[in-house]
């Protein structure tokens, strides 16, 4: 009873209660979205394939670490369930962030402001927080690690949490670098010599080993499964070309090199000024610098990349408000970064209409067709295709979709004949077309579906005849 009365009189309790409630309301419509988002479609196919006994990377492929696909597999690639898990992860993320901001600022008002900012931006579709991408799941272990690192406690476990985040998406390496440097600077004595550096390394080592442990265990799993090479290529090497695409400047990765130089100068400045800065300022600035580099790392304007920047961005805002002396430095950094974000990233422009669309649908003011079409004009076609596939194939029949809407496989309860779920994975792979043709020859899919936006079809249709066209989608049926 005393505990309950204490909670009722706590501003923090009521703030977190209403913030969690607001977050839930912002995310609630995401649970009822149709299957429409391309990346989620790929994750769904991989989750289904894993549950059907296919070995990840060797027999079904995508270019991220395995934890996201295993998570989709655990929830049977059911979008409602995965989105609900993302919502729960989001609420827990808000709670842990509040604990972290309270430790850093020790000012209730500033903790409220920074936490509210994170909750709104993470909860709404403005930064694609409604989509169950890797970023939504990796933020919680990253923030758990941040809390432990800032408190200089349980560094081994803090490293494990970051290793788990890395297994959702490898960009967690930038959070690891920021926290590692923070620990290094905090433990480093004013007088730098060999003895002091060795002492620092000894203190930071548990963090490093904790980070490495989940990654090594996962690598060992794929090694014992005979899939280490495709795992390593997909998780690490496949991202080299992806990052190179937007970072070419005179030479390959030229723009990335410039960004790395800018980050190095930023870190070196913090190092030289560390004695005049508080641990809180060092922590926030290092984390923000690496998070900003993270968001711009691939130089692609995908909105959900900004989710990894949210925690340090919200903390930087709090630092700008709190520290009058430090505001001359923090405020320009905050404003310049905000300007770069605004001119380089495309935000979800239909955020208000997103909620209007949902309310109109649940109050019977909008049809299912119109509701689905709001998200993507091709979404109703995907559902129609899935229905046609279900009605014209048996459970044993396979199909092949030449397009980038992998969600149709999930809607139709089918799997691709080979390890590639979408066309751009096939065309971007060195032997993708040849490998897929071999898979088609072996599987002999009953239906081949060619999306209208695909410019060419690189496979033979000699044993197929056109059966029907649905909204410009050509469906071919096997003749014999």
pTM recorded for the entire structure? 0.94
Laid out side by side, the sheet with 447-450 consists of 399-402, 447-450, 473-478, 464-470
Picking from 329, 344, 359, the residue at the C-terminal end of a domain is: 344
**What are the backbone angles phi and psi of residue 465, rounded to the nearest 5°?**
-130, 150
Check residue 389 and give its pLDDT: 98
Check residue 4 and give its pLDDT: 54
Residues 478/460, Cβ–Cβ less than 8 Å: no
Instruction: Give the 3-state secondary structure of residue 449.
Output: strand
Residue whose C-alpha is closest to residue 207's, from 187, 188, 180, 189: 180
Please check whether residues 135 and 200 belong to one and the same domain. yes
286 lies in a domain? yes
Residues 422/410, Cβ–Cβ less than 8 Å: no
Residue whose C-alpha is closest to residue 152's, from 111, 115, 203, 96: 203
Residues 33/375, Cβ–Cβ less than 8 Å: yes
Check residue 3 and give its pLDDT: 58
Check residue 364 and give its pLDDT: 86
Furthest CA-CA distance within the chain: 80
56 lies in a domain? no
Q: Strand locations in 322-472, DSSP E?
A: 399-402, 447-450, 464-470
Cα distances (angstroms) measured from residue 285 to each of 29, 191, 266, 415: 35, 23, 9, 46
**What are the backbone angles phi and psi of residue 376, rounded to the nearest 5°?**
-160, 135
Domain limits for position 250? 2-32+63-344
**How many folded domains does the chain comprise?**
2
Model pLDDT for residues 43-53, shown as the tens digit of each residue: 999 999 999 99
Please check whether residues 192 and 316 belong to one and the same domain. yes
16 lies in a domain? yes
Please check whether residues 149 and 200 belong to one and the same domain. yes
361 lies in a domain? no
328 lies in a domain? yes
Helix (H) or strand (E) holding 469: strand 464-470
Please check whether residues 192 and 133 belong to one and the same domain. yes
Please check whether residues 443 and 299 belong to one and the same domain. no
355 lies in a domain? no
Model pLDDT for residues 253-307, shown as the tens digit of each residue: 777 788 889 999 999 999 998 888 889 999 999 999 999 999 988 777 789 999 9
Check residue 307 and give its pLDDT: 97
Check residue 439 and give its pLDDT: 97
Please check whether residues 286 and 412 belong to one and the same domain. no
Residues 6+ positions from 22 with CB-CB distance below 8 Å? 119, 120, 123
| Residue matched to tokens 């019977």 | 364
Please check whether residues 340 and 382 belong to one and the same domain. no
Model pLDDT for residues 114-127, shown as the tens digit of each residue: 999 999 999 999 99
Check residue 385 and give its pLDDT: 98
Check residue 99 and give its pLDDT: 97
Helix (H) or strand (E) holding 447: strand 447-450
Q: Residue 115 has which token pair?
A: 């936490």
| Residue matched to tokens 């989001």 | 90
367 lies in a domain? no
Cα–Cα distance, 365 to 452 (Å, whole number)? 31
Check residue 275 and give its pLDDT: 86
Please check whether residues 87 and 176 belong to one and the same domain. yes
How would you classify the pairing of strands 464-470 and 473-478? antiparallel
Give me the residues of the chain with pLDDT under 50, please: none
Residue whose C-alpha is closest to residue 138's, from 156, 163, 158: 163
Check residue 199 and give its pLDDT: 87
Cα–Cα distance, 156 to 150 (Å, whole number)? 13
Residues 6+ positions from 93 with CB-CB distance below 8 Å? 118, 122, 139, 140, 143
Check residue 246 and give its pLDDT: 65
Please check whether residues 162 and 265 belong to one and the same domain. yes
Residues 209/162, Cβ–Cβ less than 8 Å: no
Please check whether residues 332 and 437 belong to one and the same domain. no
Please check whether residues 162 and 105 belong to one and the same domain. yes
49 lies in a domain? no
Please check whether residues 306 and 407 belong to one and the same domain. no
């Amino acid at each position: 009873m005393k505990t309950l009365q204490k909670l009722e009189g706590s501003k923090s309790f009521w703030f977190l209660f209403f913030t969690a409630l607001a977050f839930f309301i912002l995310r609630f419509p995401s649970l009822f979205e149709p299957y429409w988002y391309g990346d989620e479609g790929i994750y769904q196919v991989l989750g289904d394939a894993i549950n059907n006994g296919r070995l990840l990377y060797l027999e079904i492929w995508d270019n991220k670490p395995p934890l996201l696909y295993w998570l989709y597999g655990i929830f049977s690639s059911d979008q409602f369930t995965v989105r609900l898990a993302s919502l729960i992860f989001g609420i827990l993320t808000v709670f842990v962030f509040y604990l972290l901001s309270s430790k850093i600022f020790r000012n209730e008002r500033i903790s409220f402001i920074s936490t509210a900012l994170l909750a709104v931006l993470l909860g709404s579709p403005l930064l694609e927080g409604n989509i169950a991408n890797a970023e939504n799941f990796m933020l919680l272990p990253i923030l758990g690690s941040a809390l432990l690192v800032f408190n200089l406690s349980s560094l081994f476990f803090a490293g494990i949490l970051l290793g788990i985040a890395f297994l959702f998406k490898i960009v967690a390496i930038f959070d690891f670098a920021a926290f590692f440097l923070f620990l290094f600077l905090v433990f480093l004595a004013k007088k730098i010599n060999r003895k002091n550096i060795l002492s620092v390394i000894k203190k930071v080592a548990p963090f490093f080993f904790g980070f490495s442990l989940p990654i090594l265990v996962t690598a060992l799993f794929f090694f014992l499964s005979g899939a280490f090479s495709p795992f390593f290529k997909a998780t690490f090497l496949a991202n080299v070309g992806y990052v190179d695409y937007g970072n070419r400047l005179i030479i390959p990765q030229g723009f990335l090199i410039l960004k790395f130089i800018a980050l190095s100068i930023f870190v070196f400045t913090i190092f030289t000024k560390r004695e005049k800065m508080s641990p809180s300022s060092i922590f926030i600035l290092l984390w923000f610098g690496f998070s900003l580099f993270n968001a711009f790392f691939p130089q692609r304007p995908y909105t959900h990349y900004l989710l990894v920047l949210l925690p340090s961005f919200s903390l930087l805002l709090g630092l700008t408000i709190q520290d009058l002396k430090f505001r001359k430095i923090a405020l320009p950094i905050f404003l310049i970064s905000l300007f770069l974000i605004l001119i380089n990233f495309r935000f979800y422009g239909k955020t208000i209409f997103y909620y209007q669309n949902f309310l109109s649908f649940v109050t019977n003011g909008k049809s299912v067709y119109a509701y689905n079409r709001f998200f993507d004009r091709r979404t109703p076609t995907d559902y129609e295709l899935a229905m046609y596939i279900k009605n014209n194939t048996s459970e044993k029949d396979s199909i092949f979709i030449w397009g980038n809407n992998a969600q149709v496989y999930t809607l139709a309860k089918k799997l691709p004949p080979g390890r590639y779920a979408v066309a751009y994975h096939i065309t971007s792979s060195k032997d993708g077309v040849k490998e897929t043709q071999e898979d088609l020859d072996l599987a002999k899919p009953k239906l081949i579906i060619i999306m209208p936006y695909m410019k060419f079809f690189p496979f033979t249709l000699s044993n197929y005849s056109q059966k029907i066209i649905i909204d410009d989608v050509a469906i071919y049926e096997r003749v014999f």
